Amino acid sequence: MKHRLRIFTGVLNLVLAIFLLTFSLTSSVGNESLMFRLTLCAAGFFLIFISAISNHELGIFKTIRYKNYLMAGGTLGLFLMLSPFFFDFYDQAYRTHVIIGLIQILTFFTVYRIHFARKRNYLHVQAR
């Protein structure tokens, strides 16, 4: 289960990164601001970077722990959800940022709870 969960989050983040990069370069939603495109592009590059240096099955350099990888993804989701309001382009387009941010946050909470709660319960039962 743990192995499949790690592969799932790695693939999901890479797919989201590719989507963010292509959407930021080819979107024609309307008259988006430059910050609309820059935040999506930066989020895509960040997901690729964090996936490459994380310690999961799809990571290349394996320098940061999986827990920190999940926390970085959750923080990115929060940033994406709030960036239209921080950079003042919420009146032009905000749905993409909010939807991708929610996916990231929900993935973080789901995987973190499943992955690390089982580990805690196992240690608790084993100590008895």
Cβ neighbourhood burial of 76 (10 Å; 0-12, 13-18, 19+): buried
Q: What integer is the mean pLDDT of 11-24?
A: 91
How many domains would you assign to the chain? Answer: 1
Domain of 119, in residue numbers: 2-127
Q: What integer is the mean pLDDT of 31-56?
A: 88
* Kind plus residue range of the DSSP H or E element containing 45: helix 34-53
Average pLDDT of the residues of the chain: 85
Per this entry, what is the length of the chain? 128
